[in-house]
A and B are shown apart, each in its own frame.
Chain A
Amino acid sequence: MLTRIYEQVKPILNSFLAGLIGLAVGAIIMAIWGYAPFGAYDALFTAIFGSFYGFSSTLARATPLILTGLTFAIGVRGGIFNIGAEGQVFMGALAAISVSLLSLPSGIHVLVAIIAGAMAGAIWSLPPSFLKITRGVHEVISTIMLNWVALYFGMYAVVEWLGDPQRAEKSISAATTSRLPIMVSGTSLTYALFVSLAFSLLIFFLLWRTTLGFELRVVGQNPAAANYAGIKENYSINSTFILGGLAAGVAGALQIIGHPPTYALYSDLSTVRNLGFDGIGVALIGRNHPIGVIFAAVFFAGLNVGARTMQITAGVPLEMVRIIQGVIIIALAAPELIELSNQLLPAVRNWINEVKAS
């Protein structure tokens, strides 16, 4: 009985310990460079939990990270190392801006923008899927490359087609009818949060309560067994890509229609840059579980929000804050990272050998 409970809480315990180690190492680094770790951590945690304002800001930042975390988590569950969230977010954001050119009533417009974003993300996930299924191209390579294609396409699109004629630095803003309202006034938290949460629950249900989800997980854990059981591997892989693309696409759309004050893309895409990559960290911390991803995203966002105040109240410069963040995130991601690399390295080695042989 006890061992059973231990098995259940083990991942949480591991993460907790890892987090402590991260904080401790961070404290040592700060102390070595002459900053007061107590003051800094005090500022960090006060910023996240110390006020309603702070917590709302954290949730606002977590909103897109939940979704990009899901993209990677779904990938791992389905046996795919999907680094493509970054580019899929860009595409989702572009689609959401494009449809704001339409004039629609407000409720429908929001829905159209989210769906357009989701579709764009999903479409952008198809090339790596096809390349993997038909040509055996490893998704790490294809998704990374497509991220760059999406980045430069996005910059081009913002400048050439979607630019704000008054202000060269940004795209047109989302139409007021397609914006999600602010939930807590005086903060950036919008109802986009609920879209993210709903999507997580949907993925949780899909993965553990449907045949598709079951097949997807079996392929992820053991393709040979899946094949033996008559599961169509290619279909499952394709579904994994598309689900991930949908999540990332929605993240991009929400970052436009639910992201005050600008509700637009800056022309260097800085509005949506790095969300996809941060999602990898979020997924690793959240143990690639849709519910774990929610908490991990909140934690990850908390570090970002805390970084803002650590500078101001504790006088720790941004660069140092980011080092501390990095240490904590690596520590938290370590358990999952080790497992994942055990899984991934042989696959990459095989792939390299195949390429060499051909």
Chain B
Amino acid sequence: MFRNNSNITRFIALSLVIGLLSFGITIVSSLGINAVAQDKKKIAVVTDVGGRGDLSFNDMGFKGADEAAAEFGVELQVAQPASEADYLPNVRNLARTGDYEVIIGVGFLLTDAIETAAKQFPDQNFALIDAVVDQPNVLNFVFQEQQSSALVGALAAMTAAHYDYSKVGIVLGIEIPPLWKFEAGYRFGIKWGLDYYEKVTGEKANVDLLWTYTGTFSDVAKGKSSANAQISQGAGLVYNVAGPLGLGILEAVKDKLNQQGKEAGPPFMIGVDANQDYMGNGNKVLASGMKRVDRASYIAVKRAVEGNFEGGTEVLGLDDQGVGMSRYNQLVDFIQFGLKGDQIKEEDVDTIKDNWLEMREEIPHFVWTGVNELENLIVSGSLTPPAPSTEEEMKDVRKEYP
């Protein structure tokens, strides 16, 4: 690099100048920083590699903790990992300080990290969302996805009947036991929705289910081809139970709409876990079966701050708003996430909101009344969507709700 001495001299001089400059700036800037009074209680959220701005688990986990922090006057610390190798160290670093009332692991990717740290720091409270670790100082949160799936199932069936579609679809990821709850709830909801439709309109609608396990949670193209197949067989709505494959399902919906020269559905996609209603300009995803991660982190903070935190597993359902069908205020939340994460442009916000309102306006009123009625029936306990945990139970569900 250094061909001769004058180059070296220049190099050293340059670095000295830069060094002095930065030293000066450092002094000046550090003078401006005042030590914050540390008497506030503290809580921490540990995200997975998706981090803030993922428009899903991490954003929701943060939102719940953030709201709770504001409500209870505690300070919130977020630790984001740069890679998977940071999961456990992040949890450990927070636990070692002993300063945090609770450390919340957002999402199942943190399972092993929380478990290891919980053993190492038995006096520290931990919370884990969407997975279960059997440790006395860990509060786990799991969700009754069959309930939210039942709501969107009923919505899908009634909407399909209203628009004279003969099918509704569901595209799932790998066939693992957690996904059975989605499938079973959806089947249950479709049946209920069709009965309700007949009761209200006096017409018997024939809407059948098309279901596909794609065997992947990452191959977006498979999401598109599966949804394409279902739509071309007459499906008016397709429920996404395969995470990122939703992007492919949305593509399939858009293709169909383009063929018909339309902007807004039907056909529609139905979103999952997060609020995906904003996708495709707000008029292609009719609703989302939401898993309210924000509720879980809110509850964890509340309990820790109020001093009644206990390890164990909390099953969140419709009754405590742990799951649900997407509503307008959640759309607004997610638009905020999207703006922060640069996934949604400022100028599109109004279009998305208007499109969404218009889309839901188009659906007959009785359909929404029906969904609300089903929700009330499930909350009151008079109806219980099936939640199979074995293959046999799943087979029985498929037989009962074809």
B-binding residues in A (CB < 8 A): 10, 14, 17, 20-21, 23-25, 27-28, 30-31, 34-39, 53, 57, 61, 155, 159, 163, 165, 167-169, 186, 188, 259-262, 266-268, 270-271, 273-274, 304-305, 307-309, 311-312, 317-318, 321-322, 334-335, 338-339
| A308 & B89 in contact (Cβ 8 Å cutoff) | yes
Additional 15 contacts, C-beta under 8 A, given A307-B82, A311-B80: A17-B11, A24-B19, A27-B25, A27-B26, A36-B26, A37-B26, A39-B30, A167-B111, A261-B88, A266-B84, A271-B85, A274-B83, A305-B89, A312-B79, A335-B1
With most chain B CB atoms within 10 A of its CB, the pick from A273, A307, A312 is: A312
21 A–B pairs (Cβ distance < 8 Å), ordered by A = A14-B2, A20-B19, A23-B22, A25-B22, A28-B22, A31-B26, A31-B28, A36-B33, A38-B30, A159-B216, A168-B176, A169-B108, A261-B113, A262-B112, A266-B109, A270-B49, A273-B84, A304-B85, A308-B79, A311-B80, A312-B93
| A167 & B25 in contact (Cβ 8 Å cutoff) | no
Q: Which of B108-132 contact A (CB under 8 A)?
A: 108-109, 111-113, 115-116, 120
Taking a contact as CB atoms closer than 8 A, the residue among B30, B93, B176 that contacts A36 in the complex is B30
Taking a contact as CB atoms closer than 8 A, the residue among B79, B82, B89, B176 that contacts A188 in the complex is B89
CA distance A334 to B2 in the complex (A): 12
Report the minimum CB–CB distance from A221 to chain B (whole Å). Answer: 17
Inter-chain contacts of B79 with A (CB < 8 A): 308, 311-312
CA distance A18 to B218 in the complex (A): 41
Inter-chain contacts of A38 with B (CB < 8 A): 26, 30
Inter-chain contacts of A21 with B (CB < 8 A): 14-15, 18-19
CA distance A318 to B47 in the complex (A): 12
CA distance A163 to B82 in the complex (A): 24
CA distance A7 to B33 in the complex (A): 44
Q: How large is the interface on B (under 10, 10 to 19, 20 to 34, 35 or more residues)?
A: 35 or more
Inter-chain contacts of A25 with B (CB < 8 A): 18, 22
**Residue-wise interface mask of B (195-227) relative to A, using a CB-CB cutoff of 8 A (1 in contact, 0 not):** 000000000000000000001111000000000
**B310 interface hit (Cβ, 8 Å):** no
CA distance A262 to B82 in the complex (A): 17
CA distance A20 to B17 in the complex (A): 11
**B77 interface hit (Cβ, 8 Å):** yes
| A24 & B21 in contact (Cβ 8 Å cutoff) | yes
4 closest A-B pairs (Cβ-Cβ)?
A24-B22, A261-B116, A27-B22, A261-B112
Inter-chain contacts of A17 with B (CB < 8 A): 11-12, 15
Taking a contact as CB atoms closer than 8 A, the residue among B21, B81, B83 that contacts A273 in the complex is B83
Taking a contact as CB atoms closer than 8 A, the residue among B29, B112, B120, B176 that contacts A186 in the complex is B120
CA distance A33 to B276 in the complex (A): 33
A-binding residues in B (CB < 8 A): 1-2, 11-12, 14-15, 18-19, 21-22, 25-26, 28-30, 32-33, 49, 51, 77-86, 88-90, 92-94, 96-97, 108-109, 111-113, 115-116, 120, 173-174, 176, 178, 215-218
| B26 & A339 in contact (Cβ 8 Å cutoff) | no
CA distance A281 to B174 in the complex (A): 37
CA distance A322 to B22 in the complex (A): 19
Q: In this complex, what residue of A is CB-closest to B108?
A: A169
CA distance A311 to B94 in the complex (A): 11
Taking a contact as CB atoms closer than 8 A, the residue among A39, A273, A312 that contacts B33 in the complex is A39
Report the minimum CB–CB distance from A155 to chain B (whole Å). Answer: 7
Inter-chain contacts of B216 with A (CB < 8 A): 159
CA distance A159 to B116 in the complex (A): 25
CA distance A186 to B18 in the complex (A): 40
Inter-chain contacts of A262 with B (CB < 8 A): 112
Inter-chain contacts of A334 with B (CB < 8 A): 1
Inter-chain contacts of B30 with A (CB < 8 A): 36-39
Inter-chain contacts of B11 with A (CB < 8 A): 17
Given A312-B77, A312-B93, A318-B51, CB of A20 within 8 Å of CB of B15: yes
Q: In this complex, what residue of A is CB-closest to B28?
A: A31
| A159 & B2 in contact (Cβ 8 Å cutoff) | no
Inter-chain contacts of A260 with B (CB < 8 A): 88, 116
Report the minimum CB–CB distance from A278 to chain B (whole Å). Answer: 9
CA distance A108 to B136 in the complex (A): 36
Inter-chain contacts of A37 with B (CB < 8 A): 22, 25-26, 29-30
CA distance A39 to B112 in the complex (A): 32
| A318 & B15 in contact (Cβ 8 Å cutoff) | no
Inter-chain contacts of A163 with B (CB < 8 A): 174
| B21 & A28 in contact (Cβ 8 Å cutoff) | yes
Report the minimum CB–CB distance from B310 to chain A (whole Å). Answer: 24
CA distance A144 to B43 in the complex (A): 43
Given A159-B215, A335-B1, CB of A308 within 8 Å of CB of B88: no
CA distance A312 to B218 in the complex (A): 32
CA distance A20 to B21 in the complex (A): 12
CA distance A309 to B173 in the complex (A): 36
CA distance A309 to B81 in the complex (A): 11
CA distance A150 to B89 in the complex (A): 28
CA distance A197 to B88 in the complex (A): 24
Report the minimum CB–CB distance from A282 to chain B (whole Å). Answer: 15
Inter-chain contacts of A261 with B (CB < 8 A): 88, 112-113, 115-116
Taking a contact as CB atoms closer than 8 A, the residue among B2, B19, B83, B94 that contacts A270 in the complex is B83
Q: In this complex, what residue of A is CB-closest to B14?
A: A21
Taking a contact as CB atoms closer than 8 A, the residue among A53, A165, A274 that contacts B96 in the complex is A53
Report the minimum CB–CB distance from A60 to chain B (whole Å). Answer: 8
Report the minimum CB–CB distance from A355 to chain B (whole Å). Answer: 31
Q: In this complex, what residue of B is CB-closest to A272?
A: B84
Inter-chain contacts of B78 with A (CB < 8 A): 311
